[in-house]
Amino acid sequence: MSSAQRIVQVAVPSPLPRTFDYLPPKSGALPCLGARVRVPFGRRSVVGIVTGITGHSLLPAGRLKVVQDVLDPGPLLPSDLLNLLVWASEYYHHPLGEVVSSALPQALRKGRPAVAGDVDGWTITESGRARLGDARPLRGVPARILHALAGHGSVADETLLAPLSSRWRAAVRSLVARGWVSAVPHDCLVRPACQVVDVPVASEAQTAAIATITGGTPDFHCYLLHGVTGSGKTEVYLRVIARILGSEAQVLVLVPEIGLTPQLVDSFRQRFAVGIAVIHSGLNDSERLCAWLKARDGSARIVLGTRSAVFVPMKALRLIIVDEEHDGSYKQQDGFRYSARDVAIRRGQREGVPVVLGSATPSLESLHNARQARYTLLPLPERAGQAQLPTVRLLDLRRLARPDGLAPPLIEAVHDRLVRKEQSLLFINRRGFAPVLMCHDCGWFAPCPRCDARLTLHKAAGRLRCHHCGSDTSVPVVCPVCQGSNLRGLGEGTERVEAALAQIFPGASIERIDRDSTRRKGALEEKLGRVRTGAADILVGTQMLAKGHDFPNLTLVGVLNADQGLYGYDFRSGEQLFQRIMQVAGRAGRADKPGEVLIQTFHPEHPLFRALCRHDYSSFADYALQERQETQFPPFCHLALLRAESPERGSALAFLARARSIADGMELAGGVTAMDPAPSPMERRSGRYRAQLLIHAVQRPALHRFLVQWLSLIAETPLSRKVRWSLDIDPLDMH
């Protein structure tokens, strides 16, 4: 090979853990680092990212293929972000090509030009205004849309219209066809609101937190904003952003779920006269590409997004905020299994910008880091304004009947709120009508044919569904074992609770919010809008309602099935249960009306529930951290979980046994220990048998040194090609 010959190293989306060498294109300049290229890969052409230019290759020049096309004249990914992706690939031991690909919008992965196209906006026409004044009133969704556009005063986008109805797109198309609404192409940024909001007076704790975050040198530091629910964490974010958002500066704000973005977007657009890019999985390809590119070129001064937004390139990043930092949604649970919170902290460190982690119930890892002075703890111990923390009472189910899951004191409390024109929220973290269909003649339970689980009864749809694999079948008329007809749903889900409430309170407006009732685009916003306007009297929902939402007229929260997870097999079960209940309890009494929380439990004496009654997360954390230290679980050690699955029983365990024997033959230093392989808690799921092997280490560097060598040896074994296997670094779920 000529010494002048250059080799282009390309990361392509492939499960192979390396980059691939190519010869430069036959004409034109060498591609830049971070640019996309189209290259031959096997029998197809793929789009990859250039990660290096070198003069050497392990393959002779005659075996190297040529880059087919250079798609970007300059770097699509800036060097700091490309370096972060390389770090993420190494830390999570995942192929670089797949890591880089996951950081790009789908349109760029397909090779589309990196050009931000316009998205649709809408304005009301003169004909539309005239129609509103017609003697024959327009009704339904079209009327709501016309009124909203008439009062908006400028081009409206999905942010304004989606909360009006899940059917807003069809209604808009109809209005455009009639000439009452005009479609106006515009860019994808959310623009500032026309109205000016009153800025609340900051409390002493808020003022101190803001001063601490903005008063230091503009360099990396991690702050843990630990504020009770309703303490005004969002107000702290807003004021910190206002001080940092100087000339050309950008801010990245991460939220765990799509459902939390509309509320934060409204808060930001009412306070800042800048463009805001919103990035989440609910966008179409064009919207996501536009937002991504606006963040990259600096036009979007605030980027608000879910997990994947942590990899969005930003021209002048000056601050990263991770809201609800404890939330498990920040951890990707398949494929590239990264934690967006941890990557955000690493990004802040590498780019020299402060990172703010906010939560009412911080993860024990973050709280431990604050207590070890790695993070600065910023407490907000009181609610903002005149609001008080809700009173928490335990309802002992050992002494109370609970037809359809509702104890009499809870029913009475809901009735009191209806009389007072206040709202109630009943929280049960199970959707469907009942988690089990049972034959009361012979004891048969409806099993999932593909999982070690039982099918959930969805009575309204007349279906039995598996919430693990998606299996779906009709409800049988008779028991398939004894032919009896005494089939009943056992236990409660959101559907059953909703039906029971409708029977008890026939005049009440009940809104059920779970994954089933919010499948259609815009349905969640529509339902939340009805809650905020007071159109709903009672809410029934899952953990979708547990965090981030502010309902000023909601004064009662009832927690059903609170014991779920109390004695789980995962060492994090107690922590997650406490966080979930404390978060949902925080929805009560957010304004000037006192709130009350009723928790139904068979274990009222449990220390976890006692701490909840006192709103005492710190004492619970003390207890949980001591337990973790005694048992040597995170944050006092570091874990990696090797998972395997196969359609054949025993194959996954055989592979992991071989992996364990390889580990036994290695020199284990730094406190690295390979545990015995075991079947997963739900061994069969989606027709595949699953098993896992836990690696425990005292020192993080030692863990990664071991993994590099161990994984390469595992990949060479014949069994590795007969099962599907993956590695999870810092696993959040142990199943």
How do residues 199-241 score in pLDDT, each as one tens digit?
888 999 999 999 999 987 778 999 999 998 888 999 999 999 9
Name every residue whose Cβ is closer than 8 Å to that of residue 44 and which is 6 or more positions away in sequence.
Answer: none
One-letter amino acid at 361 equals T
Confidence of residue 698 (pLDDT cuts 50, 70, 90): very high
Contact 340, 314 (CB under 8 A): no
One-letter amino acid at 503 equals Q
Question: Rounded CA gap, 219 and 349, in Å?
Answer: 8
Confidence of residue 56 (pLDDT cuts 50, 70, 90): confident
Is there a shared CATH topology between the 391-434+491-616 domain and the 638-729 domain? no
pLDDT digits (tens, 9 = 90+) for 248-265: 899 999 999 877 777 788
pLDDT for the residue numbered 3: 39
Q: Which CATH class is domain 204-380?
A: alpha beta
DSSP characters over 538-581: EEEE-GGGSSS---TTEEEEEE-STTTTTT-SSTTHHHHHHHHH
Of 71-80, 515-524, 588-597, the one with minimum mean pLDDT is: 515-524
Mean local confidence (pLDDT), 528-532: 84
Helices (H), 601-733: 607-613, 617-631, 651-664, 700-715
Q: C-alpha 33: how far from its chain's center?
A: 31
> Which uninterrupted H or E stretch holds 376?
strand 376-380
Per-domain residue ranges of the chain: 7-109, 119-186, 204-380, 391-434+491-616, 638-729
pLDDT for the residue numbered 2: 43
245 pLDDT above the threshold of 60: yes
Q: C-alpha 143: how far from its chain's center?
A: 34
Nearest CA among 381, 384, 373, 383 for reference residue 223: 373
Contact 673, 662 (CB under 8 A): no
Which residue's structure tokens are 């009472």?
393
Per-residue DSSP letter, 330: G
Of 161-165, 317-321, 508-512, 686-690, the one with minimum mean pLDDT is: 161-165
pLDDT for the residue numbered 9: 95
pLDDT digits (tens, 9 = 90+) for 342-365: 999 999 999 999 999 999 999 999
Mean local confidence (pLDDT), 389-395: 93
pLDDT for the residue numbered 517: 86
Instruction: Please work out, in degrees rounded to the nearest 5, the angle formed at the alpha carbon of residue 561 by the alpha carbons of 560 and 566.
Output: 135
116 pLDDT above the threshold of 90: no
Measure the N-to-C terminal CA separation of the chain; round to a whole number of Å: 51
Asked if the 7-109 domain carries CATH number 3.50.50.100, the reply is: no
Domain 391-434+491-616 carries which CATH code? 3.40.50.300
282 pLDDT above the threshold of 90: no
Which residue's structure tokens are 């509103």?
132
Contact 501, 532 (CB under 8 A): no
1 pLDDT above the threshold of 70: no
Question: Rounded CA gap, 311 and 338, in Å?
Answer: 11
Contact 636, 622 (CB under 8 A): no
Mean local confidence (pLDDT), 355-381: 96
Question: Rounded CA gap, 472 and 470, in Å?
Answer: 6
- Residue 622: both structure tokens together: 């003390």
pLDDT digits (tens, 9 = 90+) for 415-453: 999 999 999 999 998 999 999 999 999 999 999 999 999
pLDDT digits (tens, 9 = 90+) for 565-606: 787 778 899 999 999 999 898 888 877 788 999 999 999 999
Helices (H), 454-564: 494-504, 523-532
386 pLDDT above the threshold of 90: no
What SS3 state is found at 277?
strand
667 vs 634, more confident: 634
One-letter amino acid at 415 equals H
pLDDT digits (tens, 9 = 90+) for 220-230: 999 999 998 88
Question: Rounded CA gap, 408 and 397, in Å?
Answer: 10
344 vs 290, more confident: 344
For 71-155, where are the E strands, in sequence order?
119-124
Confidence of residue 489 (pLDDT cuts 50, 70, 90): very high
391 pLDDT above the threshold of 90: yes
pLDDT for the residue numbered 153: 66
- Residue 114: both structure tokens together: 């990196």
Of 29-38, 91-100, 113-122, 322-331, the one with minimum mean pLDDT is: 113-122
pLDDT for the residue numbered 511: 94
Contact 427, 582 (CB under 8 A): no
Which residue's structure tokens are 């809650």?
531
487 pLDDT above the threshold of 50: yes
The mean pLDDT value of the chain amounts to: 90
**Count of CA atoms in the C-beta half-sphere (13 A) of 20:** 24
CA distances from 527 to 328, 430, 512, 698 (A): 24, 19, 8, 48
Other beta carbons within 10 Å of 170: 12
Q: Which CATH superfamily is domain 638-729 in?
A: Ribosomal protein S10 (3.30.70.600)
Confidence of residue 119 (pLDDT cuts 50, 70, 90): low
pLDDT for the residue numbered 417: 96
